[in-house]
Amino acid sequence: MPILFARIQDDVPLKLRKGAWYRVVELNDLQAVIEVNRRKVGVLRAWLEIRDRPPQRWAVVEGKDNRKAPPPLRGTYGVCPNCRARTPLPKKARTHQCKKCGNEFEIDWVEAGIKISG
Ligand SMILES: [Zn+2]
């Protein structure tokens, strides 16, 4: 099997981190098994976006229903493509450096449907 990565689609009732990419370890027509913190988790394939490599960009997660998140993460936040750290993103910035792993990536505002003006 080729190396694949997956992330959950919006509005999926799973306690997985939105915007974070997980390694796919098994895949069939209906189900995928992904590795989450070294554990295997079975997920309906329809709930996942699957790619052969995760984009090296900050995923933007729009916080509509994340009232239980820590205060800095309420509202829109980013997920680091390298270490999955979550962080508030500076508005209008095109790139952001991860405080946890130190890597700098572009921010995927377009994919999140957020337009940057100016
Ligand atoms: Zn990072």
pLDDT digits (tens, 9 = 90+) for 19-60: 899 999 999 999 999 999 899 999 999 999 999 988 899 999
Residues 62 and 94 reside in one and the same domain: yes
Domain presence at residue 88: yes
State mean pLDDT over 58-86.
81
Residue pair 41/33 in contact (Cβ under 8 Å)? The answer is: yes
Asked whether 36 and 42 are in contact (CB, 8 A), the reply is no
The answer to whether residue 117 is domain-embedded is no
Gap from CA of 104 to ligand 1 centroid (Å): 8
Q: Does one domain contain both 62 and 42?
A: no
In a domain, 112, yes or no: no
Distance 10 CA to ligand 1 centre (A): 22
Domain contains 116: no
Q: Tell me the CA–centroid distance for residue 96 and ligand 1, in Å.
A: 10
Residue written as token pair 């370890």:
25
**Pair (66, 31) in one structural domain:** no
Q: Is residue 40 part of a domain?
A: yes
Cβ neighbours for 107, distance < 8 A, ≥ 6 positions apart:
57, 58, 60, 78, 89, 93, 94, 95, 96
Note down the domain range covering 23. Answer: 4-51
Query: 68 versus 33: which is more confidently predicted?
Result: 33
Q: Which residues surround ligand 1, an ion (CB under 5 A)?
A: 80, 82-83, 85, 98, 100-101
Residue 102 CA to ligand 1 center (angstroms) comes to: 6
> Residue 96 domain-assigned?
yes
Residue 39, in any domain of the structure: yes
Q: pTM (2 decimals)?
A: 0.74
Q: Does 61 lie in the same domain as 99?
A: yes
- What pLDDT does 67 receive? 64
- The answer to the question of residue 114 being in a domain is no
Contact 74, 63 (CB under 8 A): yes
47 and 64, same structural domain? no
Are 22 and 63 in a shared domain? no
Report the separation in Å between the CA atom of 29 and the middle of ligand 1, taken as the mean of its atom positions: 32
Q: Report the separation in Å between the CA atom of 63 and the middle of ligand 1, taken as the mean of its atom positions.
A: 20
Residue 60 three-state SS: strand
**Are both 44 and 62 inside the same structural domain?**
no
- Å from CA of 101 to ligand 1 middle: 4
Structural domain total, the chain? 2
